[in-house]
Amino acid sequence: MESVVRLQRQLVDYTASLFQEGYLDEQFIQLRQLQDESNPQFAVEVVSLFFEEAERLLDELAKGLSQENTDFKRLDAQVHQLKGSSSSIGAQRVGRICIAFRNYCEMQNVEGCLNSLQQVRQEYSSVKSKLETLFKMERQLSAAGGSVSSP
Amino acid sequence: MGMACESQFHVLAVDDSLIDRKLIERLLKTSSYQVTTVDSGSKALEFLGLRDNDQTDPNTPSVSPHSNQEVDVNLVITDYCMPGMTGYDLLKKIKESSSLRNIPVVIMSSENVPSRISKCLEEGAEEFFLKPVKPDDLNKLRPHMMKTQKLRDQAQKRDEKIETPEIQLAPQSLVEQQHQQSVQIVNTNKRKTVEEGLSLETDRTRTRYNGIATMV
């Protein structure tokens, strides 16, 4: 009984910190609210899709930037896609870097693009690890008999 | 005797992003709409039953519920930026089609571009939502679908009067009753700020307010 309360507290605190540090924004709350008994894993499923898509896009961006004649239009379309999906799940920091990235694409600035790519990789990596921790805490809480909603 | 009494409105959602399709589908289902998702404008047109050489049948009234459409769609919600046919292109095609032009179309976009918004509204889009779409945005959809429902009911009534003049039907009031039975209230207090601490509720009871007061 006590561990459920502790785990619940831990989850709430951890989640709050992610918002305070700007990793997640309100859209993540919206995502959680779409979860219910009939779709108990909705947020996890959508976030997993995001991970898959982001990793694929990051690889393509790296490939695109390593080519002789950079296809900036294609790069821009890919960054646009990444920006869109990160904003759809509330991954605020990733989205922000994408905005700068797109500007560099528009200016056809390879250096700027490479820097942005590096930053976006870092931010993605951070938010991925934090979300994985968050979901793990939720699983622990459920396993201990608690529910994700606060009393 | 068939009556235009749909228990659920059917929304066709168009988006090339899988994540966004999942989100919009879930949002729409939470609002009790029946949902079909497709990943392109051309698939949307295919689903709507639009042929390449859409011929206007002079005997078919333009608001007939059973015109060239193969399925009954009450609203199309589409992303703007899509490869190939954009949401704007799709909007145009729908509005240019005699069989589809009365279907309300809503555009979604991740970019807030005023000229884009006005272009879409001028072409006949009912609403323009910025992504990510919120549950509150969806509250704006129902009036558009009910308006089309009304048109269909009127057309149905017209058709039925011709066929069986002795039967008095009131499909509009029946539809109204059904929707009043599902009166719900939006709970906007669900959104808590970080400072207040977060409550991640998985079994919240969502309710929406049906703002339709009267149907003529």
Query: Does pLDDT of B126 surpass 80?
Result: yes
Residue spans per domain, chain B = 2-163, 168-215
Q: Find out if CATH 1.20.120.160 is the number for domain A2-143.
A: yes
Using CA atoms, how far residue B194 sits from A22, B170, B186, B190, in Å, is 11, 50, 21, 12
Give the model's pLDDT for residue A147: 81
Contact A88 B132 (CB under 8 A): yes
Query: Does pLDDT of B5 surpass 60?
Result: no
Say if residues B6 and B136 touch (Cβ distance below 8 Å).
no
Answer whether B198 touches A (CB < 8 Å): yes
First to last CA, chain A: 13
Contact A30 B202 (CB under 8 A): no
Query: Does pLDDT of B88 surpass 70?
Result: yes
Say if residues B11 and B34 touch (Cβ distance below 8 Å).
yes
Residues in chain A closer than 8 A to B30 (CB atoms): 34
Work out the minimum CA distance from A108 to partner chain B, whole angstroms.
21
First to last CA, chain B: 23
Mean pLDDT value across residues A92-109: 97
Rounded Cα–Cα distance for residues B138 and A98 (Å): 28
State which H helix or E strand residue A95 sits in.
helix A92-106
pLDDT in tens, A45-83: 999 999 999 999 999 999 999 998 999 999 999 999 999
- pTM score: 0.77
Residues in chain B closer than 8 A to A149 (CB atoms): 199-204
Superfamily classification of domain B2-163: Response regulator (3.40.50.2300)
Place of tokens 């059904």: B178
From B22, B194, B203, residue closest to A49, measured CB to CB? B22
Angle at which helices A110-143 and A42-65 cross, to 10°: 160
Select the highest-mean-pLDDT range: A5-14, B50-59, B142-151. A5-14
Q: What mean pLDDT is reported for chain B?
A: 76
Which of B79, B202, B206, B207 has the highest number of chain A CBs within 10 A, making it the mutation to test binding with A? B202
Q: For the CA atoms of B33, B36, B41, B42, what is the dihedral angle to 10 degrees?
A: -140
Select the highest-mean-pLDDT range: B150-154, B186-190, B202-206. B150-154
Closest CA in chain A for residue B30: A34
| pLDDT confidence tier of residue B124, bands split at 50, 70 and 90 | very high
State which H helix or E strand residue B12 sits in.
strand B10-14
Say if residues B189 and B213 touch (Cβ distance below 8 Å).
no
Closest CA in chain A for residue B196: A16
Rounded Cα–Cα distance for residues A17 and A147 (Å): 20
Q: Quote the percentage of chain B above a pLDDT of 70.
A: 62
Burial B184-201 (b: 16+ CB within 10 A, else e): eeeeeeeeeeeeeebbbb
| pLDDT confidence tier of residue B164, bands split at 50, 70 and 90 | low
| pLDDT confidence tier of residue B150, bands split at 50, 70 and 90 | confident
Which of A10, A33, A45, A76 has the highest number of chain B CBs within 10 A, making it the mutation to test binding with B? A33
From B20, B30, B81, residue closest to A88, measured CB to CB? B20
pLDDT in tens, A3-27: 899 999 999 999 999 999 999 999 9
Closest CA in chain A for residue B16: A81
Residues in chain A closer than 8 A to B198 (CB atoms): 12, 15-16, 19, 29
A interface toward B at CB cutoff 8 Å?
11-12, 15-16, 19-20, 26-27, 29-37, 39-40, 42, 45-46, 49-50, 53, 80-81, 83-85, 87-89, 147-150
Rounded Cα–Cα distance for residues B34 and B74 (Å): 10
Give the model's pLDDT for residue B197: 44
Query: Does pLDDT of B185 surpass 50?
Result: no
Say if residues B22 and B175 touch (Cβ distance below 8 Å).
no
Q: Is the Cα torsion angle B40, B35, A138, A140 positive or negative in sign?
A: negative
Q: A24: which DSSP letter? A: B
Place of tokens 């004649």: A69
Give the model's pLDDT for residue B155: 79
Question: Would you call A43 exposed, middle or buried from its count of C-beta atoms within 10 A (0-12, 13-18, 19+)?
Answer: buried
Query: Does pLDDT of B211 surpass 50?
Result: no
Give the model's pLDDT for residue B90: 98
- With DSSP H G I counted as helix, E B as strand and the rest as coil, what are the percentages for chain A, rounded to 5? 80, 5, 20
B62 is written with which tokens? Answer: 């333009």
Residues in chain A closer than 8 A to B204 (CB atoms): 33, 36, 149
Say if residues B105 and B128 touch (Cβ distance below 8 Å).
no
- With DSSP H G I counted as helix, E B as strand and the rest as coil, what are the percentages for chain B, rounded to 5? 40, 10, 50
CA A99 to chain centre: 15
pLDDT in tens, B106-122: 999 999 999 999 999 99
Work out the minimum CA distance from A76 to partner chain B, whole angstroms.
13
Query: Does pLDDT of A112 surpass 60?
Result: yes
Give the model's pLDDT for residue B52: 55
Say if residues A46 and A111 touch (Cβ distance below 8 Å).
no
Contact B204 A33 (CB under 8 A): yes
